[in-house]
Amino acid sequence: MNVDPELARWSDSAFQVAFAIYVLAMVMFAGQYATSRVRASQERELAGVAAGASGASRSPGRSRTAPSRPAERTWFDKFGGMGYALVMLGAVFQLASIVLRGLSAGRFPLGNMYEFVSGMVLATVVGGLVFVRKPELRPLWIFILAPVVALVFLAGTVLYADSAPVVPALKSFWLPIHVSLAVLGSGLFLVSGVASLMFLVRYALIEGRAEDSRPGGVRGRIASRLPEARTLDRIAYRVTIVAFPIFGLGVILGAVWAEAAWGRFWGWDPKETMSFVTWVVYAAYLHARATAGWRDVKAAWINVVGFLAIVFNLFFINMVVSGLHSYAGLN
Q: Please give the average per-residue pLDDT across 104-122, as a whole number.
A: 94
What are the backbone dihedrals phi and psi of residue 57, each rounded to the nearest 5 degrees, phi first? -100, 0
Residue 162 to residues 25, 103, 253, Cα–Cα distance (Å)? 28, 13, 28
Cβ-based burial of 207 (10 A; exposed 0-12, middle 13-18, buried ≥19):
middle
Residue pair 278/157 in contact (Cβ under 8 Å)? The answer is no
Q: Say if residue 235's pLDDT is above 80.
A: yes
Positive or negative, the Cα torsion across 134, 139, 140, 145?
positive
Q: Say if residue 207's pLDDT is above 60.
A: yes
Per residue in 147-173, pLDDT tens?
999 999 999 999 999 998 887 777 888
Cβ-based burial of 219 (10 A; exposed 0-12, middle 13-18, buried ≥19):
middle
Rounded to two decimals, the pTM is 0.85
Q: Please give the average per-residue pLDDT across 6-20, as a whole number.
A: 97
Cα distance between residue 207 and residue 231, in whole Å? 12
Query: How big is the CA angle at 244 (ends 238 and 247), to the nearest 5 degrees?
Result: 140
Cα distance between residue 177 and residue 24, in whole Å? 33
Residue 299 to residues 27, 137, 278, Cα–Cα distance (Å)? 31, 21, 15
Cα distance between residue 30 and residue 274, in whole Å? 35
- According to DSSP, the residues that pair with 9 across neighbouring strands are none
- According to DSSP, the residues that pair with 62 across neighbouring strands are 59
**Angle between helix 229-262 and 174-202 (nearest 10):** 160
CA end-to-end distance (rounded Å), the chain? 18
Residue pair 73/43 in contact (Cβ under 8 Å)? The answer is no
Cβ-based burial of 72 (10 A; exposed 0-12, middle 13-18, buried ≥19):
exposed
Residue pair 94/50 in contact (Cβ under 8 Å)? The answer is no
**pLDDT band with cut points at 50, 70 and 90 for residue 68:** very low
Lowest mean per-residue pLDDT among 145-154, 182-191, 252-261 = 252-261
Q: Say if residue 28's pLDDT is above 60.
A: yes
What local confidence, expressed as pLDDT, does residue 63 receive?
39
Residue pair 144/191 in contact (Cβ under 8 Å)? The answer is yes
**pLDDT band with cut points at 50, 70 and 90 for residue 42:** very low
Cα distance between residue 48 and residue 110, in whole Å? 56
**pLDDT band with cut points at 50, 70 and 90 for residue 45:** very low
**Angle between helix 174-202 and 217-224 (nearest 10):** 120
Average pLDDT score, the chain: 84
